[in-house]
Amino acid sequence: MGSGQTVVVFGAYGHTGRFVVAELSKRGLVPLLCGRDAEKLKAMAYRSGLEARVASAEDPASLDRALAGAAAVINCAGPFASTTAPVIEAALRAGIPYLDVAAELEANLDTFEHFADRAREAGAVVVPAMAFFGGLGDLLATAAMGDWTRADSAHVAYALSHWHPTDGTRRSGAVSRERRGDHRLRYTGGGWERRTDAAPTLEWSFPEPMGPRPVVGEFTMADVVTIPSHLAIPEVTSYMTAEAVRDIAAPGTPAPTAADESGRSGQTFLVDAVVRSGDTERRAVARGQDIYAVTAPLVVEALERVLDGRTRTVGVASAGEMFDAPDFLRALSPHITLELHP
């Protein structure tokens, strides 16, 4: 670790962005602080001693100046519906890798749809949703697949002790709901289905000692975009514990607060990924603390692998397609505890 290369963090002063900046520094990379708010950047630069460059997704020239001389860019600035395309365009112009931590499934769908051909033809690396939602579930499902080349279904179930959302999560959720209207999305039969009925509530048997818990089924998250982007699985479903859904829906739920010196909240998580083929089931489980903080080692581990060539393809690709999933997950220790049951 420790290449000393400069990495632009767009949205560096946001909740997740600050964790990403700290993780880059810890690994010997040099974060370059970037975003549209000059005052926030100035304050962060003063505290950290890092370089800052003001840039806006609405101003391509400012993005070009911000990315000049950098080895890569990590986009942490939501709502991603308005930032992914402009920052990817700037990364393509600069000839550098692009990674983001977008949990907005519509933004991720847009990235695959609009940039797959161009990024592949340019030999560029674009990794969307390299975060707790999207990246981790995809890695777990890919690792659970093992030597299978196809499966009947994939299921990613989330158990959060609670879900205290950041302001960015609330803004991104509002943008997604605005784009989706009165519909919700479900991935079935190898394609997307728009539904107007309520998502079902059912019970999911999490690994012990947690056991059965009520969950909201078809709680479609970014994993439902990333997993079928490269795995031959026609049915992909994600689930969220009912308590966490109530948290995220309630306007009065507070933002996360630091519970240790690193700034992590006390919230814990368990992600249970199950793939099924006929009567056979394979499972991968991850446990850890703070869904926002754990995004930092996820995206920075991905970045290091991109920079040193430990990648499996070019173009737009999710974590499970771009990297060796079991090896990647093992590298996340001690940030997550991993169980593989192939």
Q: How many CB atoms lie within 10 A of CB 193?
A: 12
User: What's this model's pTM, rounded to 2 decimal places?
Assistant: 0.96
End-to-end C-alpha distance for the chain, whole angstroms: 31
DSSP state of 136: I
- Nearest CA to 265 out of 186, 332, 184, 169 is that of 169
Query: What domains can be seen in the chain, in order of their start residue?
Result: 6-132+295-322 (3.40.50.720), 133-291+337-341 (3.30.360.10)
- Nearest CA to 316 out of 101, 126, 106 is that of 126
Assess contact for 228 and 187: CB atoms under 8 A: yes
pLDDT in tens, 209-222: 899 999 999 999 99
pLDDT in tens, 37-63: 999 999 999 999 999 999 999 999 999
Beta bridge partners of 280: 277
Q: Is the pLDDT of residue 2 over 80?
A: no
By three-state DSSP, how is residue 172 classified?
helix
For residues 61-75, give the mean pLDDT: 98
One-letter amino acid at 204 equals: W
Residue 123 tokens read as 């030999």
pLDDT in tens, 118-153: 999 999 999 999 999 999 999 999 999 999 999 999
pLDDT in tens, 75-84: 999 999 999 9
Task: Give the C-alpha separation, 303 to 71, whole Å.
Answer: 10
What per-residue confidence (pLDDT) applies to 1?
52
By three-state DSSP, how is residue 26 classified?
helix
